[in-house]
Amino acid sequence: MMKFKKYLIIVGFLALLSTGWYLSSRKYVSVSFYHWNTEFNLGVSERKLIENAESDKIYIHLFDLDIDNNTGQILPKAKVNFISNIPENKDLIPVIYIAQKCFKNNSTSSLEILAKKTIELAKTLVPRNHLNWKEFQVDCDWTQNNKEKYFEFLKQLKANLSEQTLLTCTIRLHQIKYPEKTGIPPVKKGILMFYNIGNIHTFSIVNSIYDFETASNYLKRLKDYPIKLDYALATFSWGLHYRMGNIKSILTETSLSRLDSCKLFIKSQNKYVCTLSGLFEGDYFLKGDLIKIEKSGISELNLAAKQLKDHIKEKEINLILYHIKSSELKNYGSNENKNLKSIFN
């Protein structure tokens, strides 16, 4: 009897240990969305999406910063206009995109002014009850040629934000692979853009939005990246218009939905071949042009999550899906959300 008790104690102790281990190794996963349209107008389905994903925040693109062709100055473009309310109890995370060509001949003082104006404009654009930002996100495809200017801009932005606001910025896979060249941005947290992986300039059979093989080439050093990361994953589709093997234009999801009814094309697997030259959706197609349909839907999303899982060190995993208005998310319900989260545990 004594022996049995002893046995029970040992078993109980082991069970406790393993539960503790399980709890300590369990990862907390959150899912939220990017909103990237110039009109913030959430419909029922998008609100439902946020609810099903149990998101506590929404990342809203407020504007782009780009060189104005007429004046040569850096000016805001594509400013967001809030038509509908932000769902209750959800935090607004402002996101701005800045074109890398903005960083050429700027002095430190001009970057200081730019940063100040950026924050001021962001404040005027968002609803008044959403001014206490927990995070402010910057998206820029910086390179080794302009990293100094960009990083200085980030520092200046930080100086203009309140202490409670965490400054974050997007990080592309090539920046993870070659940090010695592209540098580490001066932020506490980055957002790895785990999509737009392939080269779209010339035609290839690989899915440029997300491709497992291509992505694996970039992941070896992910754990070594010195700053914490959130992960942006793709849920969208587009059409790439090629002529003589070179990219000509990009078709939006809305245009893709009209392709089948257009007599200029015939469908062949994931491609449309132009058989009669003509106009479609404001673009012109010559006989022989190709439209390659690329998508990253729920299955690609799950595959990307599985691939990422073994390479990330964070215990709190924030996933951000790009983007909330995509038709690729129309079947994303609470089950899909649970499934996505469970991949990490």
Helices (H) and strands (E) in the chain, counts: 10, 18
286 binds another protein (CB under 8 A): yes
Q: In this structure, how many other beta carbons lie within 10 angstroms of the beta carbon of residue 308?
A: 21
C-beta closer to another protein: residue 5 or 128: 128
**Which amino acid belongs to residue 95?**
V
**Helices 44-52, 334-342: inter-axial angle, 10-degree rounding:** 40
Backbone phi, psi, residue 220, to 5°: -55, -35
**Which amino acid belongs to residue 228?**
K
281 binds another protein (CB under 8 A): yes
**Which amino acid belongs to residue 227?**
I
Closest-CA residue to 299 (of 307, 291, 289): 307
273 binds another protein (CB under 8 A): no
**Which amino acid belongs to residue 165?**
T
C-beta closer to another protein: residue 253 or 339: 253
25 binds another protein (CB under 8 A): no
Vertex 96 angle, CA 93 and 99, to 5°: 160
Round to whole Å and give the CA distance between 268 and 278.
19
C-beta closer to another protein: residue 27 or 259: 259
Closest-CA residue to 174 (of 150, 151, 203, 199): 199
- DSSP characters over 13-55: HHHHHHHHHHHHH--EEEEEEEE-SSEE---HHHHHHHHHTT-
C-beta closer to another protein: residue 326 or 337: 326
121 binds another protein (CB under 8 A): yes
Name, in order, each residue with C-beta under 8 angstroms of 341's C-beta and a sequence gap of 6 or more: 29, 31
232 binds another protein (CB under 8 A): yes
246 binds another protein (CB under 8 A): yes
54 binds another protein (CB under 8 A): no
90 binds another protein (CB under 8 A): no
Point out which span in 1-9, 86-94, 215-223, 244-252 binds another protein (CB under 8 A). 244-252
C-beta closer to another protein: residue 249 or 339: 249
| E strand or H helix that includes residue 147 | helix 147-160
Least distance from another protein to the Cβ atom of residue 250, Å: 5
Round to whole Å and give the CA distance between 53 and 33.
9
272 binds another protein (CB under 8 A): no
101 binds another protein (CB under 8 A): yes
139 binds another protein (CB under 8 A): yes
**Number of amino acids touching another protein (CB under 8 A):** 52
Contact pick of 40, 57, 76, 305 for another protein (by CB under 8 A): 76
70 binds another protein (CB under 8 A): yes
C-beta closer to another protein: residue 187 or 264: 264
Point out which span in 46-54, 222-230, 236-244, 298-306 binds another protein (CB under 8 A). 236-244
Report DSSP state, residue 224: G
Q: Where along the sequence are the contacts to another protein (CB under 8 A)?
A: 34, 36, 61, 69-70, 75-76, 79, 95, 97, 99-101, 117, 120-121, 124-125, 139, 141-143, 145, 170, 172, 193, 196, 200-201, 232, 241, 243-244, 246-250, 252, 264, 277-284, 286, 288, 322-323
